Amino acid sequence: MKHIPSLLLAGALLLPLSAQAVPNLWSADSGQGVTEYRITNTEGSVFTVNCTGNPDEDNTLQHSVAVSPVNGQGVDSHFSTEAYIVVVIDDQQYGIPSSLGWRNADNAWFAFIEAIGSATQFDVYLNDRHVGAWEPRQKNVQKVLADIASCATTHRE
């Protein structure tokens, strides 16, 4: 009982460490049918690709992208119809659709997943404003994003 305050203090001191991320290195976490691929840039902005295995009522897998600018409010492409996210990879624009399940959106999502799966440099724009640049290392991309191609599927069979 007398050790509880010490344990709480130790736990509180460790919390900020878990929130920190090494810049420009992808990480992947999975839980409850969702895989998150997350990367932080050198300024502290966070870019996340959310791949779900849980279909909606139309049997569509509503994957999404989330952007959390260092000095702004985070936006998820699926939950915000007011925001428009564009990722630029190798001088090519990839507009992130707000919902999947229709041909143009599914094609755009497929092209984005194909490109991000090997990108070692990309820029992100939110409503035509530059959020930041990310430069993951080739080896990190190959290791962590090795199975991101499974995120290209938009319908559950």
pLDDT digit string, tens, across residues 16-65: 433 558 999 999 999 999 999 999 999 999 999 999 999 999 999 999 99
Domain carrying residue 101:
22-152
Position 12 in a domain: no
* Domain assignment present for 1: no
Count each helix (H run) and each strand (E run) in the chain, helices first.
3, 9
From the list 111, 122, 123, the residue with the least C-alpha distance to 149 is: 111
Read off the pTM: 0.85
Query: For the chain, how many structural domains are there in total?
Result: 1
120 lies in a domain?
yes
Query: Which bin fits 155, alpha (ψ -120 to 50), beta or left (φ > 0)?
Result: beta
pLDDT in tens, 64-90: 999 999 888 889 998 877 889 999 999
Instruction: Give me the pLDDT at residue 23, please.
Output: 97
Is residue 45 included in any domain, yes or no? yes
